[in-house]
Amino acid sequence: MRPYQSIPIAECGDPLVGIPAHLFAFTEPHLYTSLGAPYGDASPWMLRQGVLEALVGAQARLAALKPGWRLKLFDAYRPVPVQAFMVWREFRQQAALNGKSLAGFRGADELAARAPELHAALAATVFTFWGVPSDDPRTPPPHSTGAAVDLTLQDEEGREVNMGCPIDETTERAYPDFFAGAAGPELCAVHAHRRLLNEVMASAGFSRHVNEWWHFSFGDQMAAHAAGKPFAIYGRAR
């Protein structure tokens, strides 16, 4: 269990709502749906109403600082089965990078039961970045609350700005301050872009994932823990 998962949840009942397409830029096609993740009748482009309102505020702050720039969304709502699908995909990728095969295993739980040492070795990297796809209502994955969003910045000409590594990269380059103190104008700009994204999101009440420059939460356990609040207001959305 991660420290933030010990935060109790006092669910506020805020509904999941669609994210208006005209307010933000979006990564299209959506990667996880393209991979066949099991969304069922859900859409990744949903957030809790209060979270969406905060995100609109972050966009307004960005526009004030950088006219013409937009928040570009990569992912938002993620049902627990989607989280499990993506986490297992990451296990397979990490296994391949380490010269291992997960053929014959159907998921992370089966891997943990049948090959606990291999599971533990891979999980050390996977769960540094990905939330555990827990079915326990006391410990929902952040994205499954509808209160977390992965995003980047788009400039006034519609180009993604350089953030130093792609979203979902599982290396130290993903750490928010990895490029702090870097030499050279390009890497200094990367760090400045990450600071700008954090500034506009924090101005609206979001908290950033400690290991991911792109992940921000509002009102879930991760955000409550980061802000020192006694409880979260968003639990599992469905």
Q: What is the pLDDT along the chain (238 residues), one digit of tens a residue?
A: 889 999 999 999 999 999 999 999 999 999 999 999 999 999 999 999 999 999 999 999 999 999 999 999 999 999 999 999 999 999 999 999 999 999 999 999 999 999 999 999 999 999 999 999 999 999 999 999 999 999 999 999 999 999 999 999 999 999 999 999 899 999 999 999 999 999 999 999 999 999 999 999 999 999 999 999 999 999 999 8
> Residue 73: beta bridge partners?
26, 151
Task: Specify the pLDDT at position 238.
Answer: 87
> Residue 209: beta bridge partners?
none
Alpha-carbon distance values, 232 to 150, 177, 196, 205 (Å): 19, 26, 26, 13
Task: Specify the pLDDT at position 1.
Answer: 82
Q: Which residues are marked as active site?
A: 212
Complete domains list, the chain, with CATH: 3-80+142-227 (3.30.1380.10)
Task: Specify the pLDDT at position 142.
Answer: 98
* DSSP-assigned letter for residue 15: P
Task: Specify the pLDDT at position 21.
Answer: 94
Q: Are 236 and 80 in contact (CB under 8 A)?
A: yes
Task: Specify the pLDDT at position 75.
Answer: 98
Q: CB-based contacts of 169: which residues, under 8 Å, 6+ apart?
A: none
> Which of 75, 60, 26, 66 has its CA nearest to residue 155?
66
* Residue owning tokens 């296994």: 95
The enclosing H or E element of 123 equals helix 116-129
